[in-house]
A = this chain, B = another copy of it.
Amino acid sequence: MTTMTRVPASRQPETTPLWLKLSSYLVLSDDEKLYLSELEKTIVKQPPRSDLLQQGERYRDVRIIRDGWAIRHKALPDGRRQVVNFVLPGDIIGMYCTLFESADHSVTTLTQVEVASFPPERIGELFRSFPRLAAALAWSGAREEAMVAERLLSLGRRTALERTAHLIVELLRRLSVVNMAADGHFVLPVTQEILADALGLSIVHINRTLRRLRDSGLIELNGQRITVNDVRQLASVGQFDELYLHLIRAPRRLERTFSDNRSPRSGGRDEQAKA
A201 nearest in chain B by CB position = B156
Q: Are B131 and A127 in contact (CB under 8 A)?
A: yes
Q: What 4 A-B pairs come out closest when comparing CB atoms? A: A156-B200, A124-B257, A104-B244, A155-B155
CB within 8 Å of B: which residues of A?
A: 38, 55-56, 59, 74, 76-78, 80-82, 84, 96, 98-102, 104-105, 120-121, 123-125, 127-129, 131, 135, 138-139, 142, 144-146, 148-153, 155-158, 197, 199-200, 239, 241, 243-244, 246, 248, 250-251, 253-254, 256-258, 262-263, 265-266, 269-271, 273-275
Q: Are A121 and B257 in contact (CB under 8 A)?
A: yes
A59 nearest in chain B by CB position = B251
Q: Which residues of chain B are within 8 angstroms of A274 by Cβ–Cβ distance?
A: 121, 125, 128-129
User: Please, how many angstroms separate the alpha-carbon atoms of A236 and B171 in the complex?
Assistant: 36
Q: Are A98 and B253 in contact (CB under 8 A)?
A: yes
User: Please, how many angstroms separate the alpha-carbon atoms of A254 and B101 in the complex?
Assistant: 10
The answer to whether A80 and B157 touch (CB under 8 A), given A74-B150, A150-B104, A152-B152, is yes
The answer to whether A156 and B248 touch (CB under 8 A), given A145-B145, A258-B124, is no
The answer to whether A273 and B262 touch (CB under 8 A), given A157-B80, A158-B76, is no
The answer to whether A76 and B239 touch (CB under 8 A), given A101-B246, A145-B148, is yes
Q: Are A256 and B148 in contact (CB under 8 A)?
A: no
Q: Which residues of chain B are within 8 angstroms of A253 by Cβ–Cβ distance?
A: 98, 120-121
Q: Which residues of chain B are within 8 angstroms of A248 by Cβ–Cβ distance?
A: 101
11 contacts across the A-B interface (CB closer than 8 A): A74-B150, A82-B157, A84-B152, A98-B135, A99-B246, A104-B149, A121-B256, A121-B275, A124-B258, A151-B152, A152-B152
Q: Are A156 and B258 in contact (CB under 8 A)?
A: no
Q: Are A99 and B271 in contact (CB under 8 A)?
A: no
A85 nearest in chain B by CB position = B149
A123 nearest in chain B by CB position = B257
Q: Are A152 and B150 in contact (CB under 8 A)?
A: no
Q: Which residues of chain B are within 8 angstroms of A150 by Cβ–Cβ distance?
A: 74, 104
Q: Are B271 and A262 in contact (CB under 8 A)?
A: yes
Q: Are A96 and B142 in contact (CB under 8 A)?
A: yes
Additional pairs, 15, CB under 8 Å, beyond known A84-B152, A105-B149: A38-B275, A74-B149, A77-B239, A84-B149, A98-B251, A98-B257, A99-B138, A99-B139, A99-B251, A100-B246, A124-B258, A128-B271, A129-B273, A148-B152, A155-B156
Minimum Cβ distance to chain B for residue A172 (Å):
19
Minimum Cβ distance to chain B for residue A176 (Å):
19
